[in-house]
Amino acid sequence: GVPFVYAMDGETYRSIAKYYHLFLRELLNYNDLKADKPLAPGTVVYLQAKKKAAPAGLELYIVSRDGEQLYDICQRFALKMKAVRKLNGFTEETELREGDEIKLR
């Protein structure tokens, strides 16, 4: 899997980047972010680049509720959001609905 940590209370992307000797921009890129944002305790923060596709056997994800975010799905499965968008023909404005099928590989 892709190495990650769970954010602790009071941590920021900047403090995690510094602790692991990464550039802030690099850490943000690994986590599909363009700018630093507040971190809730327990947030998954990837320390290396995520995968472009899910492993065999995890080809499809079905959205379980309206408003579920592609970002959260990609974080859960350690997938690059740009790759999943391209695979599914999504834009940044694409909104997911309950029952939508998302290709993960």
pLDDT at 72: 92
Domain co-membership, 39 together with 69:
no
53 lies in a domain? no
Question: What sign does the CA torsion over 49, 5, 15, 9 have?
Answer: positive
Give whole-number Cα distances, 53 to 26, 27, 41, 50, 56, in Å: 20, 20, 27, 9, 9
Confidence of residue 43 (pLDDT cuts 50, 70, 90): very high
How many C-beta atoms lie closer than 10 Å to residue 17's C-beta? 20
Domain co-membership, 42 together with 67:
no
For residue range 92-103, what is the model confidence (pLDDT) as tens digits?
999 999 999 999
65 lies in a domain? yes
Q: 9 is in which domain, residue-wise?
A: 4-46
Domain co-membership, 67 together with 95:
yes
Domain co-membership, 40 together with 64:
no
Domain of 25: which CATH number? 3.10.350.10
For residue range 47-87, what is the model confidence (pLDDT) as tens digits?
999 999 998 888 999 998 888 899 999 999 999 999 999 99
pLDDT at 41 over 90: yes
